[in-house]
Amino acid sequence: PEATISRSFEVKDIKSGAVRMAASAGVPLLPTVIWGSQRVWTKGRSKRFLGRPVPIFIAVGEPVLVGRRDDHDAAASLLRRSMQQMLEELQARYPDKPRGSEDRWWMPARLGGTAPTPEQAAALDEAERIARQSRP
């Protein structure tokens, strides 16, 4: 529902398409978050498949039921809040911490890392979108 990888390592704004599809199909949404995978593969960094093991945590929350006549924007907001809470819980339990100032890239700014803030990440995403549109 975020539509892309978050450069800030925070939950992005939720697009309503996933909510609308779930409502139309009569199926629940399963809030799901992953923490640690950004250390292996993320935007703007080389993939890192070798070296010491990297813990990756995954959490799946309680199903969010959305009916066809429900407020889809409200459901998307509920989904985002649930995902943000789950992400913060995973971050708090994560066993690895950055080893030095150069290793803080994979931590969100909110936790003292050097990842862009959500606002900075949105600006980077917009610049990338504009660059893609201008390509022949």
Rounded to whole angstroms, the Cα distance separating 110 from 47 reads 24
H/E element holding 93?
A: helix 72-93
Cα–Cα nearest to 87, from 66, 118, 65: 118
Nearest CA to 64 out of 81, 88, 87, 40 is that of 81
Contact of 11 with 80, CB cutoff 8 Å = yes
Give this prediction's pTM: 0.85
Query: At which residue do the structure tokens 């989904």 appear?
Result: 79
Strand, helix or coil at 35?
A: strand
Q: Indicate the pairing of strand 32-35 with strand 57-60.
A: antiparallel
pLDDT string in tens for the chain (136-residue length): 666 788 999 998 888 888 999 999 999 999 999 999 999 988 778 787 767 789 999 999 999 999 989 999 999 999 999 999 999 999 999 999 888 888 899 999 999 999 999 999 989 989 988 998 988 7
